[in-house]
Amino acid sequence: MPTRKKPSAKAKTGRAYYYRMRTPEKRLETNVKLAAAMAVVVVVGLIVAFGSAFFSEPVRQPEQASVIAPPSAEDAKPKAERGSADGLRDCASCPPMVIVPAGSFVMGARVDETGGEDMPPSIIASESPAHGVTVQNRFALQQTEVTRRQFAAFVKETGYQAAGCKVFDGTSWVINRGKSWRDPGYYQDDDHPVVCVSPMDARAYIKWLSDKAGIQFRLPSESEWEYAARAGNTGAYIWGSDQTAACVHANAADAALMSQFRGRDISLFFACDGRYAFTAPVGKHKANAFGLGDMLGNVREITADCWSADYRGAPTDGAPRTDGDCGSAASRGGGWLDPPANLRTARRLRTEATERRSDQGFRIARDIDPRFP
């Protein structure tokens, strides 16, 4: 019978451990310790993994807010008061409007603006004397001129008749009974400004829109118009005095028009090509600092003022002039046929109350209640 070997010390220790572990209390205690140790190992591993990834990436600095340089005194126009691209809209049928802030400006032409040209004395007188005007309250002005689509909605709903129009035949203006806002003698689509409308037609449209919207719209006064057109600029044009920049900012007599009326004096045209010989769709040209488009060119714009030969006795608070020749109105801004001298911001033009021209339109205005921000 073989002799059984005596267990070694290591075996004795292992066997003792085995027997101790057979008790439930010991097994539970050991398992808890093992679980805790494993948890520590996992946490340490995660810290090492994520820590190495974090420190391997460059530390990112917080993004800085965009800094906008303050505008110059010439062009300082708070954005909150300029209106947005969508403008202020009062109703579904109402055109987009831009809020024009209150402020002061010098109305009329500077001496150096007319002195260097062969300007008729009557034109120089009509833009004089230059005088200070304070537009005391902000107001809303249509972002662009009234379009054919907007005027067509009025005609469709009311049956309003506006037939007969003065058209340019290449040498002079003649009344054509067959022409109207529907067919002014050249191509237009519904996004072009309505033309062949008189001050009387403009007021009829405004009354209809006011009744429809429950808001009192009106024509801008002549001083409101010039203040809004200049938007802080004191040059001959809303963009300054450089005639070569005209086609960026306005649709006026240029190379495109010259191609339609060959043989006319070249000095009657701007030295640029805006691609539209007659009217252009509204808003095609660069807006001024207030966000208003087509303040110069495209169409002459009817204002609320009675016509006066000069500025003597003119209101200085932005109100329309109600004395003088109230059978006629002042129109401003020049149109697609107007030469450089007529497109100046200070230029004033006379239109009779019932006169319809194929280069004449309008835009609307309304008061803003000063009690509300």
Residue 350 falls within a domain, yes or no? yes
CATH number of the domain that 287 lies in?
3.90.1580.10
Residue 2 lies in a domain: no
Per DSSP bridges, beta strands 173-180 and 163-168 are: antiparallel
In the chain, how many domains are there?
1
- Flag the least confident range among 13-17, 187-191, 192-196, 240-244: 13-17
Whether pTM > 0.85 for this model: the answer is no
Domain assignment of residue 135, yes or no:
yes
- Tens of pLDDT, residues 263-301: 888 889 999 999 999 999 999 999 999 999 999 999 999
Residue 90, burial from CB neighbour count under 10 angstroms (0-12, 13-18, 19+): middle
| Percent of the chain that is helix, strand, coil (3-state, to 5) | 30, 20, 50
- Burial class, 177, CB count within 10 angstroms (exposed 0-12 / middle 13-18 / buried 19+): exposed
Instruction: Tell whether 148 is covered by a domain.
Output: yes
The answer to whether residue 372 is domain-embedded is no
Q: 311: domain range?
A: 79-367
Residue 31 lies in a domain: no
CA 125 – CA 135 distance, rounded (Å): 23
pLDDT of res. 373:
60
229: pLDDT strictly greater than 60: yes
Q: Tell me what pLDDT residue 22 has.
A: 45
Rounded mean pLDDT of 185-191? Answer: 97
* Residue 177 domain flag: yes
Q: 306 in a domain, yes or no? A: yes
* pLDDT tens track for 77-132: 333 333 333 456 777 789 999 999 999 999 999 887 765 557 889 999 999 999 99
